[in-house]
Amino acid sequence: MAQELLSSFTDELGEVALIPSSGGVFRVCVDAEQVWERKADGGFPEIAVLKQRVRNIVAPQRDLGHIDDKH
């Protein structure tokens, strides 16, 4: 997922950091804004949904092509 986000948002994202944790935590944030949280959002995201949520923060005007057409 990290590689997908970096390759899709090369101009918008400076880095994707993986922070070790325990207790089944999986959280995706852009700056301080939470985009996805495994427990609150019911599991792990489909990559298309995650890309849309990240896009909505970093480049809301950007079209994701086939991903936007499906969802």
Q: Smallest Cα–Cα separation from 56: which of 37, 42, 36?
A: 36
pTM of the model: 0.86
Which run of H or of E encompasses 36? Answer: strand 33-37
**For residue 9, what are the contacts with CB-CB under 8 A and spacing of at least 6?**
54, 55, 58, 59
φ, ψ (nearest 5 deg) of residue 63? -90, 130
Q: Does domain 2-70 have CATH number 3.40.30.10?
A: yes
68 close to 48: Cβ distance less than 8 angstroms:
no
2-55: per-residue pLDDT in tens?
999 999 999 999 999 999 988 889 999 999 999 999 999 999 999 999 999 999
